[in-house]
Structure 1
Amino acid sequence: MEQIENHYVVFAENQVLETERLCLRPLTLADAKDMFEYASDEETTTFVFPTHQTIEETRTIIASVFMADPFGKFALELKENHKMIGTIDLRVNIKEGTAEIGYTLNKTYWGQGLVPEAAHVLLALGFEKLQLIRIFAVHDLKNPKSGRVMEKIGMTKESTIYEAKKIYGKVSDIVTYGITKSQWQKAKEQ
């Protein structure tokens, strides 16, 4: 029980994280307009979640997914103008000592290294403060840009599972990347 309690304490103590260009912080209903901007765009959502049809749908998702269970879930806010441009989360399985990173970014900001910048902070949180042994991420084989993000944060490709599952009615091939605490520490020392 102590380990699980500590996991919640760590998240409670680290609700706001900063990088050079970003503030990772809890989502609020005030983020609905910014989230709807990218969540209503099919190109952005194709591989991550059903495209939002209305701003009310976005508000409901913020309240029920991000606010109802906020630990490990962060808005990506640009420091320069306080615009919320995406989300990133660390889904922890404290009993196994592992976590999965997931992210979505407004396509206007693709290719600027913002997700890797945010993910590095979550790797540090996971390995240093949560004492995880492995962090992984998955992407659809048809979305290699997401795999490139994983490589940029030091993850290595572990597997490809063909016809792994249906995602929103489409059969998907899933690629898994991962990094262990010892790999992360070794890379950090270089």
Structure 2
Amino acid sequence: MAYFETERLVLRPIQPTDHDQLQALILDPQVVAYVRYRSIQTPAAFDAAFTTHFLAEPRTVFGLETKRDHQLIGFYEFHMTQTTGELTYALRQSAWGHGYVAEAGTTLMAYGFDSLALERIEAHYASVNPNSGRVMAKMGMHDEGELQTHTLDNGETVHVMMYGLSRSDWRGQRHSQSA
């Protein structure tokens, strides 16, 4: 099982004791408004996802815990195909705007390229949340434009934007930073 520490965070596999904090996060409609978990709207639906996904994927799903008070503030994960990993994350609202996503994401990109042998890492965001795009750029990813447009159940049209980074570009960035 992978475990990482950054300046302010511990990135670790989700544990059974994370259930209640993660459930509160996933059932907060503002937190999941534009991520794949917005369809989980009941405790029973969350329980199923918690067991079959969050606990079952220790190599690709990580809880984000603050070092300061050891509180779970969110999660970060890879959804993988053969050579590509799509990063998805969610933070409780009180953790928004503190730089946690870029801090954890940079560490997980290194893990994805070095340990999971990914050739490419992508991240998607809804255009109505441009802060996510800025975070992806801060992590060294490249803006690749609009991926798709779809309509949510509430009738809202969402433009899904994509950022990406190849392993060779990532290595080039690391080499230029160390030079």
* TM-score for both structures, normalised by structure 2: 0.86
| Aligned-residue offset at 1:151 | 0.9
CA RMSD of aligned residues (A): 2.1
The one-letter code of the counterpart of 1:75 is G
Deviations 1:117-168 (A, max 9, x none): 11111111112223322111111111212111111100111121452x3455
Which of 81, 105, 108 in structure 1 is aligned with 2:91?
Answer: 105
1:27-66 matched pairs, under 5 angstroms = 27-48=14-35, 49-50=37-38, 53-66=41-54
| Aligned-residue offset at 1:17 | 1.6
The one-letter code of the counterpart of 1:29 is P
The one-letter code of the counterpart of 2:161 is V
1:74-93 matched pairs, under 5 angstroms = 74-93=62-81
Distance across 1 between alignment mates of 2:136 and 2:15: 27
Q: How many residues align?
A: 174
* Corresponding residue number in structure 1 for 2:171: 185
**Contact 1:28–1:63 (Cα < 8 Å) also in 2:** no
Distance across 2 between alignment mates of 1:69 and 1:126: 14
| Aligned-residue offset at 1:33 | 2.0
Distance across 1 between alignment mates of 2:101 and 2:163: 15
Q: Percent identity?
A: 33
Distance across 1 between alignment mates of 2:45 and 2:138: 33
| Aligned-residue offset at 1:66 | 1.0
Long gaps (5+) in structure 1: 1-11
- Of 99-108 and 16-25, deviating more is 16-25
The 1:127/1:29 distance shift into structure 2, 3 A limit, reads same
Which of 133, 139, 153 in structure 1 is aligned with 2:139?
Answer: 153
Distance across 2 between alignment mates of 1:53 and 1:158: 31
Residue 43 of structure 1 aligns to a residue in which SS? coil
The 1:130/1:85 distance shift into structure 2, 3 A limit, reads same
The 1:39/1:51 distance shift into structure 2, 3 A limit, reads farther
* Corresponding residue number in structure 1 for 2:118: 132
* TM-score for both structures, normalised by structure 1: 0.81
Distance across 1 between alignment mates of 2:143 and 2:8: 28
Distance across 2 between alignment mates of 1:132 and 1:161: 20
